[in-house]
Every structure is written in structure tokens, then in C-alpha cells.
């Protein structure tokens, strides 16, 4: 069901709610409704005009066919009555006797009048006219009865005088009254005809008035509908302009997308679809801006990868993906984020970054369109994969690999296309930040790591000292400090050269790293000196680690060219903070113990004691 979107309840007026079904229609639906309204209006106007025009035409035809004929019949009646009056008067005033021919003429005249009366009775169209005709007919019948009694009987034939003086006067009075009645009623009939014509004229005026009101109402309704559609479009364009202006003038200070910032969607049609698309664009721009600011504030590359993975999982609903990172120096490629974790058993077997087709060609590789395009993909029958190289400034930092189960459906293809498009947008935002953080990380490693052995250097220890010591104090634990130095290392450089010395130092660094726990630190302190920091360690454990290092080095055969040599180390041990609450002083104590070990013959371990240090400064 249609509902208002991004539209505050205060704006949901009765006006909008009453037009809700109209809003739910698509643009073409609205257009068809308006078009049908126009056509229906024109058809209705045409129908009513045709109906009333036909009605008027029929009325005029009836008037012509009936009223005029009736008027002629009424006139004929008057003439016939007048002739009858003259005939009777002539007969009654004549001194000759009444013969059969006179009676036949009189009967014929009476018959003509009765025929005229019957025709008038048949042609009347109103109850008033009917009553008038009956009244005339009754009066005439009375007259005929009198005539039959006096003039049309057999007794009247051959009489010298047909009627007495009083009878003639009475007959003349009946005729006069009948003529007067006919004259008056005919005038009334004529007036009735005029009234009928006036009614027809009034009905015609009423028809035109109703049609005018119908046209006006139709124009008002269609105007409101058209203005409403135009208002929707103008409102949408105005809101879009305001939002785009806000984005353009925001100086990249995007805030989180909220419903109050979005364009109200009050139409479930193409206009509403445009508003939805504009809202999606606004949300995407703000989300990308917020994502960019967030990852810029992250400290490490690993945090950026986790942010990307969160976007892929929760916002883009990507179910399976792997983020690969490429080491420029070593040319290796390795996964830095795998989702879900079970995919660890289905990783591409890549021994080097050039085995990855996407990295080698520096272009997106997808098996959706070209099955089997990548020979190292382990599950070509069960899944498709799309690999996107993460390239910035000509450097490929890694590869984003997205995996999808085989589903041959158009909806699935569209989902993959949209998801990958959105993923590329977030990757484009992340790449400059990843590149900058990797450069910063490389610079930091160059500054804090020894380039020869790969161990942390003294600068790293100085930069992280406060964190290290505060953790020890907070946990109230002990830190074992071992200062190691290879015995007679100068002889190796003198006899075999500095390259051989570097080889031995690298091997010694590996022995030291493998002799301690992962949480412990091995630092190249300077030259052939190495500092080992053992966390959560007591004095006995520190000495045991030192003995392990000493015995391992002593048993190791260092190969230099075609020769094998053996070397030994001397180790000084101190504890922080049990020996001293000053860290650097504790390091100095281990260094003092180391020199004591060298003075006493080398290849030995000495635990620092107070009698080894008589000075007050370190």
C-alpha cells in the first residue's frame, strides 16, 4: 500500500490524504485519468446537448404536427358551426316547408361537426385541452338533440312553419352560446399552446445553463489535477536543488544521512521514483563522505580493512569476500580479511602476486561472464568470482575478491551488479587512504625497524616506552631484560668480510626471535648487541631463556660460503622494576652484567648484582 516517505506528519494534511489514491498512480496513470476526465466531460456535454436538442426538435415537430393542425381544426369547427347557424336560421325563417333534402344537408353538416370534434379530441395532448373539448362536445350534443326533436324528425317534413317564434329564439340562443363557448375555448387552447412553447424555451435555457455549469466544474477539476501534478514536479526539483546545493556548499563536511535531510516522497509514480533515486544518491554521497572521514581517522591499515569489510557485510549485503594484500618488496600476496571464516579452506593457492590474474593484468576479472577464466580459483563449479585490483598511483595494493553462488536468475544478476558497483565506490574512497597509510606504515617501519634483521630498533623502544612501562606498572608484573652480544664478532668481519658478518647477524636475530614468545620483544640495540624484553617474566624464567639462547647459538653452525663456523654469545640479565624503578637504568644494569660476562671469559650468562655497579649515573 502506498505510504508517504520522508514526509513529516504535520505535512500530511487532509488535502494530501484525500488525494492519496491519485498519488499512488504512475505518471501515465495520472495522464490517462486526466484524459478520460476530458473525454468523459466532452462526451457528457455532447450527450446532454444531443438529448436536449432532440427534445427541442421533437417538441417543435409536435407543435408543427399537432398544435398547428389542432388550431386549424378549431378554426374549421368555428366555420362549420357558423355555417350550421346560417343554415338553421335560413330554414327557420323560410316560409316554405322543410323537405327531405334540407334535412339531409342539415344532417351532413352535423356529421362534419362531429367528425371535427372527434379529431380534436384525438389530437389533444394535455388534460386541460381534453376537458375543454369535452365541454364543447357536450354543448353540441345538446344542440343536436334539440335539432333532432324539432327539425330532423319525420313530423317536421311538409310543415309550413318549422318552429314557433319562441323555439327559434331558444335555438338561436343555443347556437350563440355554443359559438361563444367554442370561441372562448379555442382562445384558451391557443394560450395553452403558447404556454407549452414558453416551457420549451425555459427548458432549453435550463439545458444551456446546466451545460455551462458542467463545463465550468470540469475545467476546475482538471485545472486542479494538472496544477497538482505540476506542483509535485516543481516541489521535487526544488528539493533536489536544495539538497544538491547543500552538498556542494558543505565543504566536504558531510553529516550522517537522516530522514529530515531527504526529499519527501509523496507520489508513487515516476516522480516518486526520481525522488527515491535522488535520496539514494544523497545517502550514498553522505555515506561515502562519512566513510572517508572515518577511515582517515583510523590509525592502521588493518582498521581500514575492517571498516571495508563491515560496509560489505552490513550495508551491501555481500555474503562472501576476501581482501588480499600485496607486499611490494617480497612480491607476495596474502589474505588480510576473510568472510566468512570457513572460506579459509577455499583460498586461491597463490605463491606470488603475479599468479593473480587481476593483479597481473591490472583489470577486473570475473568468471560470471567467462567461466574458468582464472586457473587457480579452487571452486569454479560451485561459485563465480569477481576480482577487483586495488590500484592507486600505479601501485597495486591488493585485490578485493567477491564470490557468489551460482544462481541463474535475472534478479540475482542485477543484485550482483548493483552490489559490485557500490563496492567499487567504497574501494575508490578507501584506496587513497590505504595507500597513504601504507606509505606511513612503511616509513614508520623504516624508522623503527632494523633493515638488516627486520627486528625493531632502539628508536621503536624509545617511542613506545611509556606504553610499555605503564602496562607493567598497571599489572604489577616483572620485565626480564637480556642484553646479548656475539663474542669475537669483529674477527668475522676481518676474516670473511662484512657480508659474512651481516649473514651471521641475520641468523642470530632469527635464533633470538625463535627462542622467545610471540608477545616478547627482540630489539637490535646496536652493532652486534641485541636487547630481549620478556614480559610477565620472573628472574628464573629470564635466566632460563638466556640459557636457551646461549646453548642454541653455541650449537649452531654458521655457513659462510663453503665454510662453517661456530660462535658464542654473552648475556647480561636484569629485572624491571625489581632492580630499579627507572627503565633505562635497568637496561644499563643488563649491559653492565654483559660486560662482566665478557671480562670473565665470554660465552656465559650473568645476573646483575649491585656490586657490579658502583656509579650513580647511567
Angle between helices 100-123 and 127-150 (to 10 degrees): 170
What is the predicted pLDDT for the residue at 550?
93
CB 175 within 8 A of CB 85: yes
Question: For the chain, what percent of residues have pLDDT higher than 90?
Answer: 18
Q: For residue 263, is pLDDT > 70?
A: no
Greater pLDDT, 134 or 496: 496
Render pLDDT for 605-616 as a digit per residue (tens, 0 to 9). 999 988 887 665
With bands split at pLDDT 50, 70 and 90, how would you rate the model's confidence at 186? low
HSE-CB of 464 using CA atoms within 13 angstroms: 16
What is the predicted pLDDT for the residue at 39?
73
Q: Which three cell numbers stand for residue 43?
A: 462526451
Greater pLDDT, 231 or 584: 584
Q: How far apart are CA 468 and CA 536, in angstroms?
A: 12
Q: How far apart are CA 616 and CA 588, in angstroms?
A: 12
Q: CA of 260: how far to CAs of 6, 250, 265, in Å?
A: 7, 16, 12
Render pLDDT for 65-86 as a digit per residue (tens, 0 to 9). 565 566 566 677 667 777 766 7
Q: How far apart are CA 267 and CA 229, in angstroms?
A: 10
Q: Which three cell numbers stand for residue 563?
A: 665454510
Closest CA to 459 of 471, 473, 469, 444: 444
What is the predicted pLDDT for the residue at 165?
56
Other beta carbons less than 10 A from residue 321's beta carbon: 23
What is the predicted pLDDT for the residue at 343?
85
CB 505 within 8 A of CB 452: yes
Report CA torsion sign: 254, 255, 257, 262: negative
Q: How far apart are CA 187 and CA 609, in angstroms?
A: 154
Closest CA to 137 of 172, 87, 188, 185: 185
Q: Which residues contact 401 (CB under 8 A, 6 or more apart)?
A: 321, 322, 323, 324, 348, 385, 386, 387, 388
Q: Which residues contact 85 (CB under 8 A, 6 or more apart)?
A: 172, 175, 176, 179
What is the predicted pLDDT for the residue at 260?
47
With bands split at pLDDT 50, 70 and 90, how would you rate the model's confidence at 571? very high
What is the predicted pLDDT for the residue at 521?
92
CB 457 within 8 A of CB 449: yes
Closest CA to 476 of 586, 608, 607, 578: 578
Give 64's DSSP letter.
I
Q: Which of 68-72, 486-490, 504-508, 527-531 has the lowest mean pLDDT?
A: 68-72
Give 66's DSSP letter.
I
CB 211 within 8 A of CB 48: yes
Q: Average per-residue pLDDT in the chain?
A: 77
Render pLDDT for 9-20 as a digit per residue (tens, 0 to 9). 444 556 556 666
Q: Would you put residue 362 in left (φ > 0), alpha (ψ -120 to 50) or beta?
A: left
CA end-to-end span of the chain, whole Å? 81
Greater pLDDT, 259 or 591: 591
The backbone torsions φ and ψ at residue 173, rounded to the nearest 5 degrees and listed phi first, read: -65, -40
Q: For residue 471, is pLDDT > 70?
A: yes
Q: For residue 62, is pLDDT > 90?
A: no
Q: Which residues contact 225 (CB under 8 A, 6 or more apart)?
A: 22, 30, 33, 34, 37
Closest CA to 317 of 425, 420, 427: 420
Average pLDDT over residues 422-440: 87
Amino acid at each position: 500500500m502506498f505510504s508517504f516517505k520522508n514526509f513529516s506528519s504535520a505535512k500530511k494534511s487532509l488535502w494530501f490524504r484525500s488525494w492519496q489514491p491519485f498519488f499512488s498512480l504512475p505518471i501515465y496513470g495520472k495522464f490517462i485519468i486526466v484524459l478520460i476526465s476530458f473525454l468523459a466531460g466532452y462526451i457528457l456535454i455532447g450527450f446532454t446537448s444531443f438529448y436536449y436538442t432532440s427534445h427541442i426538435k421533437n417538441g417543435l415537430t409536435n407543435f408543427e404536427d399537432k398544435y398547428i393542425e389542432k388550431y386549424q381544426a378549431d378554426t374549421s369547427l368555428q366555420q362549420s358551426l357558423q355555417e350550421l347557424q346560417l343554415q338553421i336560421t335560413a330554414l327557420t325563417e323560410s316560409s316554405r316547408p322543410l323537405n327531405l333534402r334540407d334535412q339531409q344537408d342539415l344532417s351532413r353538416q352535423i356529421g362534419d361537426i362531429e367528425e371535427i370534434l372527434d379529431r380534436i379530441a384525438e389530437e389533444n395532448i394535455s388534460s386541460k385541452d381534453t376537458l375543454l373539448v369535452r365541454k364543447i362536445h357536450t354543448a353540441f350534443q345538446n344542440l343536436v338533440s334539440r335539432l333532432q326533436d324539432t327539425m330532423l324528425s319525420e313530423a317536421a317534413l311538409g310543415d309550413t312553419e318549422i318552429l314557433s317564434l319562441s323555439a327559434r329564439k331558444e335555438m338561436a340562443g343555443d347556437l350563440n352560446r355554443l359559438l361563444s363557448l367554442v370561441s372562448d375555448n379555442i382562445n384558451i387552447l391557443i394560450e395553452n399552446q403558447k404556454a407549452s412553447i414558453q416551457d420549451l424555451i425555459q427548458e432549453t435555457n435550463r439545458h444551456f445553463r446546466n451545460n455551462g455549469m458542467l463545463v465550468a466544474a470540469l475545467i476546475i477539476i482538471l485545472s486542479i489535477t494538472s496544477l497538482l501534478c505540476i506542483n509535485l514536479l516543481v516541489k521535487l526539483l526544488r528539493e533536489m536543488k536544495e539538497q544538491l546545493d547543500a552538498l556542494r556548499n558543505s565543504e566536504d563536511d558531510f553529516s550522517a544521512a537522516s530522514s529530515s535531510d531527504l526529499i519527501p516522497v509523496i507520489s508513487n509514480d515516476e516522480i516518486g521514483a526520481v525522488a527515491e533515486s535522488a535520496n539514494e544518491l544523497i545517502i550514498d554521497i553522505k555515506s561515502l563522505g562519512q566513510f572517508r572521514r572515518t577511515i582517515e581517522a583510523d590509525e592502521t591499515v588493518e582498521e581500514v580493512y575492517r571498516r571495508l569489510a563491515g560496509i560489505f557485510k552490513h550495508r551491501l549485503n555481500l555474503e562472501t569476500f576476501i581482501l588480499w594484500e600485496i607486499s611490494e618488496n617480497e612480491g607476495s600476496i596474502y589474505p588480510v580479511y576473510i568472510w566468512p571464516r570457513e572460506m579459509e579452506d577455499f583460498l586461491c593457492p597463490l605463491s606470488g602476486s603475479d599468479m593473480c590474474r587481476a593483479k597481473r593484468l591490472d583489470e577486473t576479472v570475473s568468471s560470471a561472464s567467462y567461466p574458468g577464466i582464472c586457473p587457480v580459483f579452487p571452486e569454479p563449479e560451485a561459485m563465480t568470482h569477481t576480482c577487483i585490483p586495488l590500484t592507486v598511483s600505479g601501485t597495486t595494493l591488493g585485490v578485493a575478491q567477491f564470490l557468489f553462488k551460482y544462481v541463474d536468475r535475472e534478479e540475482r544478476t542485477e543484485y550482483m551488479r548493483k552490489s559490485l558497483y557500490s563496492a567499487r565506490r567504497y574501494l575508490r574512497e578507501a584506496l587513497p587512504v590505504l595507500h597513504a597509510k601504507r606509505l606511513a606504515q612503511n616509513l614508520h617501519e623504516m624508522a623503527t625497524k632494523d633493515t638488516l634483521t627486520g627486528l625493531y630498533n632502539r628508536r621503536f623502544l624509545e617511542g613506545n616506552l611509556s606504553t610499555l612501562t605503564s602496562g607493567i606498572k598497571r599489572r604489577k608484573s616483572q620485565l626480564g631484560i637480556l642484553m646479548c652480544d656475539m663474542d669475537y664478532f669483529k674477527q668475522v668481519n676481518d676474516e670473511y668480510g662484512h657480508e659474512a658478518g651481516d649473514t651471521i647477524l641475520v641468523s642470530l636475530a632469527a635464533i633470538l626471535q625463535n627462542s622467545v614468545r610471540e608477545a616478547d620483544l627482540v630489539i637490535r640495540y646496536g652493532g652486534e648487541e641485541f636487547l630481549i624484553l620478556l614480559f610477565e617474566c620472573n628472574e628464573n624464567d629470564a635466566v632460563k631463556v638466556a640459557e636457551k639462547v646461549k646453548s642454541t647459538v653455541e650449537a649452531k653452525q654458521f655457513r659462510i660460503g663453503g665454510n662453517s663456523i661456530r660462535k658464542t654469545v654473552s648475556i647480561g640479565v636484569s629485572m624491571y622494576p625489581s632492580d630499579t624503578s627507572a627503565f633505562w637504568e635497568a637496561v644499563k644494569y643488563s649491559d653492565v652484567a654483559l660486560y662482566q660476562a665478557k671480562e670473565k671469559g665470554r660465552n656465559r650468562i650473568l645476573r646483575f648484582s649491585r656490586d657490579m655497579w658502583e656509579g650513580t649515573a647511567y
